[in-house]
Amino acid sequence: MGLTIRSLYRSMFGQLAIITILFVGFGVYFFTLRPLLSVEPSGVADPLEITASSASEALGRFAFAEREQAGTGGDLEADPVLRDIKAHNPQFRYFVRVQGKEFRSGEGTPFFISLAFDRLQRQNLTAAYPGLCLNSTINDPGGPGRSFLAYADCGGQASYYEYAGIEYATASAATGSVRLYGKFIWSYGGIFLFTVAAAFVVFAVILLANVLRIRRVAALARDLDPDNLGELFPEKGLPLEVAPLVSALNQMILRVDEAQRRQRFFLSAAAHEMRTPLTVLRTRLEIMDDGRLKEKLISDVRRLTDLANQLLKLMTIGEAPAPLKATDLVTLTGRAVGEREVVARRRGLDLVFEREVTRYDLWADPSLVETAIGNVIDNALSFSAEGQRVVVRLDKDGWVRVRDQGPGIPSEQIKTLFEPFTRFSTGRAGYGLGLAIVKAVVDRHEGAVKIGEGLDGGAEVALRFDPDISSRP
């Protein structure tokens, strides 16, 4: 729950919603509650009061009809209003007297007798004094619950009705009261609430439009290639509040890209400049007298030359990639295997090339693909002991799998396997650039590389390059 509230507080949409809720709350109080507290609306009352008024209206209507013409008031016991009140109030009773006739329901002494209205009517004052009218209404003359009586006598035509025992409101009265209150509240605060809702919708649409723009920038950031920072984030069309942040990110990207360019230029230049003195040094070593020292020096120069060549290869993959062209993966794999068969035989290893297809079209840089496959094979040969087997297999779906029977690769070292200058055995020759070149070549071709355990122990490295030649220009 705390995390949800904290996330809502950090969201622009959540902040807008919170402000709107607070604004609506203050508005409802000032424009609705305060008028309700200071003004009694017409027709709006307590549900119990509405129930009592309904009883007075039903009994008064019956008494008036009977006074005008006997028998026209209908059946009080069948009146739906009185039956509804009786169903909610077991102690409800009523008493009606018109033209000497009495109609009653419930038990107890009527107020007509206890308050001496019967003696008043027997005096027949209106007959003794022509033009005299007697009228009396009493609210709550006695319990239980709400009670009421009304007496009228003009020109000798007397009518009287009373009720008592209304303690609970009927369902229809409660519903009608709520409906009237709702109309009253809407009449005072409806315009305000409608204005706030419309403003919130407009603000939300504007905010969502800006959020979508920000999300597009975020998507570009997720797809940003750290090795190719030439593309900057678009700054046009962004909100003014976000534009400075995007501008600062673009400036940082430019600085990082420039630093990477300088680093790559230094490594490339250093590797290139190393090749000439190493070649001269090797030439001079060749004219020395044969001996152990000469062989040792020539071996050291050869290793340094290989290091310079690998650095140049690694730099050229990302710095100035050659255009891709159609080629055959079977031919490239077979050539990489054939160039290493002599080395494998010299070490007493069995190097085998298996393929499920005779041709596999590939849109790629042939030299880079062959280099990547060759580096994986070299790595497998270097970890294999005499008498073991290295199998290079080309599947029909384009995976090139190189399996060896060596010691395998520890799982905790797989994550850093393709990092430059990473070596797992200090006794092996090389500088840890071979697999880094493999990873760069695979990324150049939008392919994939997998590392797992071989069928007979050892390790398996699987490479796949983009096989969809039809999608390329």
- DSSP line for 275-339: HHHHHHHHHHHHTSPPSHHHHHHHHHHHHHHHHHHHHHHHHHHHHSPPPPEEEEHHHHHHHHHHT
Q: In whole angstroms, what is the distance from residue 285 CA to residue 301 CA? A: 9
Predicted local distance difference test score (pLDDT) of residue 392: 92
Contacts of 23 (CB under 8 A, 6+ apart): 196
Predicted local distance difference test score (pLDDT) of residue 260: 64
pTM: 0.43
Contacts of 458 (CB under 8 A, 6+ apart): 383, 384, 388, 403, 404, 405, 406, 407, 408
Predicted local distance difference test score (pLDDT) of residue 351: 92
Sign of the dihedral through C-alpha 261, 267, 272, 273: positive
Digits of tens for pLDDT over the chain (473 positions)? 444 555 555 566 666 677 777 777 776 666 666 665 555 544 445 778 888 888 899 998 998 888 888 888 888 888 888 888 888 898 999 999 988 888 988 888 898 888 888 888 888 777 677 777 888 889 888 878 889 999 888 766 788 899 998 888 887 766 655 566 556 566 656 666 677 677 778 777 777 777 777 777 777 777 766 666 666 777 776 666 667 777 777 777 777 776 666 656 555 555 555 556 666 666 766 666 676 776 666 666 665 665 556 555 555 665 555 677 888 999 999 988 988 888 888 889 999 999 999 999 888 888 888 888 888 888 888 888 888 889 999 998 889 999 988 887 776 666 667 666 555 554 455 556 667 778 878 887 888 888 887 766 788 889 998 755 444 44
What is the dotted CATH code of the domain comprising 322-471?
A: 3.30.565.10
Which is nearest to 58 in space by CA: 180, 179, 172, 175?
Answer: 172
Other Cβ atoms less than 10 A from the Cβ of 58: the count is 20
Torsion angles phi and psi, residue 153, rounded to 5: -145, 110
Q: For residues 135 and 193, is the Cβ–Cβ distance under 8 A?
A: no
Sign of the dihedral through C-alpha 357, 361, 367, 372: negative
Bridge partners (DSSP) of residue 101 are 98
Contacts of 398 (CB under 8 A, 6+ apart): 329, 360, 362, 464, 465, 467
- Indicate where the chain has its CATH 1.10.287.130 domain(s): 227-320
Which class is 227-320 in CATH? mainly alpha
What are 20's two structure tokens?
């709107």
* Integer angstrom CA distances of residue 48 from 20, 167, 174, 177, 391: 37, 7, 8, 10, 95
Strands laid side by side in the 157-166 sheet? 101-105, 93-98, 157-166, 146-154, 133-139
Predicted local distance difference test score (pLDDT) of residue 353: 92
- Indicate where the chain has its CATH 3.30.565.10 domain(s): 322-471
Q: In whole angstroms, what is the distance from residue 31 CA to residue 195 CA? A: 13
* Integer angstrom CA distances of residue 473 from 5, 328, 468: 52, 17, 11
Bridge partners (DSSP) of residue 152 are 135, 159
